[in-house]
C-alpha cells in the first residue's frame, strides 16, 4: 500500500501511519513532523535521527511532543542502546530492533542498522547473517520497519539480501525503509509487497487493522 492510500477515503478500521527516516539532526523538519503527527494514529521513525552518533538526544527531545504512539528503529548513525537511552521516560515511544509490537490491531516489526556492513568504521551495522537471525522473528503479515532496504529495491544496489529474503518468505503488509539517500521517496514491490524508501519528508499510509 503506497502513500497514494492517503487519497482514498479512510475506513473506520484503518490505521494511519506517518513514517519518515534520515532526519540527520534536522530539527526544523522534526518540528514539522510533530505538527503532521496530529493527523496520524501512529508515527514510525525508521532510523538515522543522529549524524555519526551526534545530536540524538536533541532530536528525540523535539519529537517527544508527539502525542501518538511512536515506533523508532535505529539507523546506522545511532545504536539501539543509544536510542533506548535517549527515549527513556517517553511513555509513547517504543524502540524496535529485532522486536515486534502491536498498535491498534496492526503488528509492527523493526530492525535497524546498516545491512550489510558499510565501509565506515563509526557506523552501527549488521552482517547479513546477523540480520537474518533477527529477522526470523518477523510475524507474518506485519508492517516491516527496517532502516536498510531490500537488495535490488530502492537501494542503488546497496541493500540487504537478508531483508529481501524475509520479505519473500514472510510477506509483510508494507515495508518502510531509508538509508540510501539517493532513493528517498522511491517505491518498489517485492512480489506483491510494497516497499517505500522514506526520507525526511515523510509519507502517510493507511493500513486496515
For the stretch 114-165, pLDDT in tens is 999 999 999 999 999 999 999 999 999 999 999 999 999 999 999 999 999 9
pLDDT range class, residue 8, cuts 50, 70, 90: very low
pLDDT at position 11: 43
Using a 10 angstrom Cβ sphere, with 0-12 exposed, 13-18 middle and 19 or more buried, the burial of residue 179 is buried
Kindly report the number of other CB atoms within 10 A of residue 58's CB atom.
Answer: 14
Is CATH 3.60.21.10 what the domain over 13-208 is classified as, yes or no? Answer: yes
pLDDT range class, residue 209, cuts 50, 70, 90: confident
Grid cell listed for 71:
515506533
Q: How do the domains of the chain map onto residue ranges?
A: 13-208
pLDDT in tens, 45-79: 999 999 999 999 999 999 999 999 999 999 999 99
Q: From its phi and psi, is residue 126 left (phi > 0), alpha (psi between -120 and 50) or beta?
A: beta
Give the percent of the chain with pLDDT over 90: 93
- pLDDT for 34 beyond 70: yes
**More confident position, 2 or 174:** 174
CA distance 92 to 65: 10
CA distance 113 to 97: 9
pLDDT range class, residue 9, cuts 50, 70, 90: very low
pLDDT range class, residue 28, cuts 50, 70, 90: very high
- pLDDT for 4 beyond 50: no
pLDDT at position 13: 77
Mean local confidence (pLDDT), 97-119: 98
DSSP secondary structure code for residue 86 in this structure: H
Q: Is the dihedral of CA 176, 182, 183, 184 positive or negative?
A: positive
CA distance 88 to 202: 24
Amino acid at each position: 500500500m503506497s502513500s497514494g492510500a492517503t487519497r482514498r477515503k479512510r475506513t473506520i478500521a484503518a490505521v494511519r501511519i506517518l513514517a519518515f527516516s534520515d532526519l540527520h539532526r534536522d530539527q526544523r523538519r522534526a518540528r514539522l513532523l510533530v505538527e503532521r503527527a496530529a493527523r496520524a494514529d501512529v508515527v514510525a521513525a525508521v532510523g538515522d535521527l543522529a549524524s555519526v552518533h551526534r545530536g540524538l538526544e536533541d532530536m528525540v527531545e523535539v519529537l517527544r511532543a508527539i502525542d501518538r504512539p511512536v515506533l523508532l528503529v535505529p539507523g546506522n548513525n545511532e545504536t539501539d542502546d543509544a536510542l533506548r537511552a535517549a527515549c527513556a521516560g517517553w511513555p509513547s515511544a517504543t524502540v524496535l530492533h529485532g522486536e515486534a509490537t502491536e498498535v491498534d490491531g496492526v503488528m509492527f516489526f523493526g530492525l535497524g542498522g546498516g545491512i550489510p556492513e558499510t565501509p565506515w568504521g563509526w557506523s552501527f551495522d549488521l552482517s547479513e547473517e546477523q540480520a537474518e537471525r533477527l529477522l526470523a522473528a518477523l510475524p507474518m503479515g506485519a508492517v516491516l520497519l527496517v532502516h536498510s532496504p531490500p537488495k535490488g529495491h530502492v537501494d542503488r544496489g546497496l541493500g540487504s539480501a537478508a531483508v529481501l529474503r524475509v520479505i519473500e518468505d514472510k510477506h509483510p503488509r508494507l515495508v518502510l525503509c531509508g538509508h540510501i539517500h539517493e532513493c528517498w521517496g522511491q517505491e518498489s514491490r517485492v512480489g506483491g509487497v510494497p516497499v517505500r524508501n522514506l526520507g525526511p519528508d515523510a509519507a502517510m499510509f493507511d493500513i486496515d487493522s
